[in-house]
């Protein structure tokens, strides 16, 4: 059996961490849904920068837009292009949404990365995008910054599905999970509400491994490539405490769903590690793994499936304790990672707007614009 399909048997949903106009129109995404069991799509500014800014796939749509809006403000153009892609993906995934009773089949769209420290601005833009896309299987992505935790609660309370992103630590997860619980309490129709808590994985190893290599020694060497998985497993253990016991039963009785943990950043950054390690080692029930295309293909080819997420939590605790004994502050590392994540989304967002500005000028003048090398 297709290993991607086997993940479903373990209770894990597979989402595609990628979107581009061609896979929406040529049947590629539909085939992944039908053959691989892909049941969701995530996007972010970096993905859209590569899709729109580094190809000519959208030039016809840009031309059509400029005919209807000659001044062509790039912010409105960006929104028009992105919303069209999100709607197309949502429509392809609608059968999944309907078959699962609204528990899966979602497409995620992010608010501007420049609103990451602005709760009111995030709420306003999330409402705008929710109405504009007008699909029940949309999730609005909002980062798990301290400033945006109230925005997440507010949006959930209004019945807007939220994918909370850029979580790296237990502290981030705790804040987000409790915001979800408070939002559910405020929501008039909690049975219709969906949310995922996107916990970033491989970037933790990239950050911590660098410090371990600087330290050197046997203990440090033994921890290389282990902390991201250990950090994730302990977060999942906390998820179980919050959502699988008696404390959540009252909300279950109202029809509410759990806020699934979504593993993000699951491509392998270090070539010394197995190319599907962050999928193989984090398989468990009521979770999502959003996987970029290259990793998806690799897992389809040679992925191994088992209930790994439930294994050896004591070992994970020991690894985190050993890290602390070496003087490495995981909390400090994860705060740095969240800030770096915000910057990594803001930069491509700004680059895309600049590329769109150049494309608009080129299309108006008839002079071809040089695209970045793909």
Question: Which two tokens mark 126?
Answer: 């999330």
- Whether residue 167 is contained in a domain is answered as yes
Q: What is the pLDDT of residue 372?
A: 44
In this predicted structure, the answer to whether residue 245 has a pLDDT above a threshold of 90 is no
Question: Which two tokens mark 18?
Answer: 């990628």
Ordered DSSP codes for 200-252: E-HHHHHHHHHHHHHH-SHHHHHHTTTHHHHHHHHHHHHHHHHHSSGGGHHHH
Q: Is 141 a catalytic residue?
A: yes
In this predicted structure, the answer to whether residue 45 has a pLDDT above a threshold of 70 is yes
Q: Kindly indicate the confidence band of residue 368, based on its pLDDT and cuts at 50, 70 and 90.
A: low
Residue of 141, 207, 233, 359 marked catalytic? 141
Q: How far, in Å, are 149, 171, 177 from residue 240 at the CA level?
A: 21, 16, 11
Tokens 């601005």 sit at which residue? 121
Neighbours of 347 (CB within 10 A): 14
- Whether residue 370 is contained in a domain is answered as no
Q: Kindly indicate the confidence band of residue 361, based on its pLDDT and cuts at 50, 70 and 90.
A: confident
Domains identified in the chain, total number: 1
**Rounded to an integer, what distance in angstroms lies between the CA atom of residue 155 and that of residue 167?**
18
Q: How far is CA 369 from the centre of its chain?
A: 32
Q: Which residues contact 312 (CB under 8 A, 6 or more apart)?
A: 233
Q: What is the pLDDT of residue 29?
A: 98
Q: What is the CATH number of the domain that holds 315?
A: 3.20.20.70
Q: What is the pLDDT of residue 217?
A: 95
In this predicted structure, the answer to whether residue 360 has a pLDDT above a threshold of 90 is no
Of the candidate ranges 59-63, 232-236, 337-341, the one whose mean pLDDT is the lowest = 59-63
Percent of the chain with pLDDT over 70: 97
| Helix (H) / strand (E) containing 12 | strand 12-16
Parallel, antiparallel, or unpaired for β 162-167 and 138-143?
Answer: parallel
Q: What is the pLDDT of residue 373?
A: 42
Give the pLDDT confidence of 114-134 residue by residue, as tens digits.
999 999 999 999 999 999 999
In this predicted structure, the answer to whether residue 341 has a pLDDT above a threshold of 90 is yes
User: Which residue would you say has higher pLDDT here, 355 or 279?
Assistant: 279
In this predicted structure, the answer to whether residue 72 has a pLDDT above a threshold of 70 is no
Q: Residue range 27-45: average pLDDT?
A: 97
Neighbours of 105 (CB within 10 A): 26
- Whether residue 373 is contained in a domain is answered as no
Among 316, 274, 281, 311, residue whose Cα is nearest residue 295: 274
User: Which residue would you say has higher pLDDT here, 235 or 371?
Assistant: 235
How does the average pLDDT of the chain come out, rounded?
A: 94
Q: Residue range 282-310: average pLDDT?
A: 97
Question: Which two tokens mark 278?
Answer: 């962050």
Question: Which two tokens mark 217?
Answer: 């020694």
Of the candidate ranges 33-42, 78-87, 318-327, 360-369, the one whose mean pLDDT is the lowest = 360-369
- Whether residue 112 is contained in a domain is answered as yes
Containing domain of residue 334, as a range? 3-365
Q: What is the pLDDT of residue 362?
A: 82
> Looking at the whole model, is its pTM more than 0.85?
yes
Give the pLDDT confidence of 318-335 residue by residue, as tens digits.
999 999 999 999 999 999
Question: Which two tokens mark 22?
Answer: 């061609």
- Whether residue 172 is contained in a domain is answered as yes
Q: What is the pLDDT of residue 370?
A: 53
Q: Which residues contact 100 (CB under 8 A, 6 or more apart)?
A: 39
Give the pLDDT confidence of 142-156 residue by residue, as tens digits.
999 999 999 999 999
């Amino acid at each position: 059996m297709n290993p991607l399909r086997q993940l479903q048997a373990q209770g894990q949903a597979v989402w595609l961490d990628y979107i581009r106009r061609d896979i929406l129109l040529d049947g590629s995404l539909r085939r992944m849904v039908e053959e691989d069991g892909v049941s969701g799509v995530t996007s972010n500014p970096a993905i859209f920068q590569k899709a729109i800014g580094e190809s000519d796939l959208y030039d016809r749509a840009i031309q059509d837009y400029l005919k209807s809006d000659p001044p062509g403000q790039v912010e409105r153009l960006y929104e028009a292009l992105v919303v069209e892609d999100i709607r197309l993906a949502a429509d392809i995934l609608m059968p999944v949404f309907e078959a699962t009773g609204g528990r899966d089949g979602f497409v995620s769209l992010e608010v501007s990365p420049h609103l990451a420290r602005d709760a009111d601005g995030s709420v306003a833009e999330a409402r705008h995008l929710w109405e504009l896309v007008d699909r029940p299987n949309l999730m609005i992505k909002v980062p798990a910054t301290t400033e945006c935790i109230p925005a997440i609660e507010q949006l959930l309370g209004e019945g807007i599905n939220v994918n909370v992103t850029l979580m790296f630590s237990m502290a981030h997860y705790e804040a987000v999970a409790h915001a979800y619980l408070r939002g559910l309490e405020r929501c008039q129709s909690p049975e219709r509400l969906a949310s995922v808590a996107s916990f970033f994985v491989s970037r933790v190893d990239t950050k911590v491994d660098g410090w371990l290599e600087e330290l050197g020694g046997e203990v440090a060497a033994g921890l290389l490539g282990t902390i991201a998985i250990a950090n994730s497993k302990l977060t999942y253990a906390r998820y179980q405490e919050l959502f699988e016991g008696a404390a959540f039963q009252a909300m279950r009785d109202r029809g509410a769903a759990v806020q699934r943990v979504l593993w993000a950043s699951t491509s392998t950054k270090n070539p010394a590690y197995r190319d599907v390690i962050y999928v193989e080692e984090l398989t468990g029930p009521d979770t999502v793994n959003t996987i970029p295309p290259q990793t998806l293909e690799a897992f389809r080819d040679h992925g191994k499936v088992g209930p790994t997420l439930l294994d050896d939590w004591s070992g994970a605790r020991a690894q985190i304790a050993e890290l602390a004994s070496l003087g490495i502050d995981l909390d400090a590392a994860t705060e740095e990672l969240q800030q770096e994540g915000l910057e990594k989304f803001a930069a491509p967002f700004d680059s895309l707007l600049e590329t769109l500005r150049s494309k608009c000028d080129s299309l108006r003048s008839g002079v071809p614009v040089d695209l970045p090398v793909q």
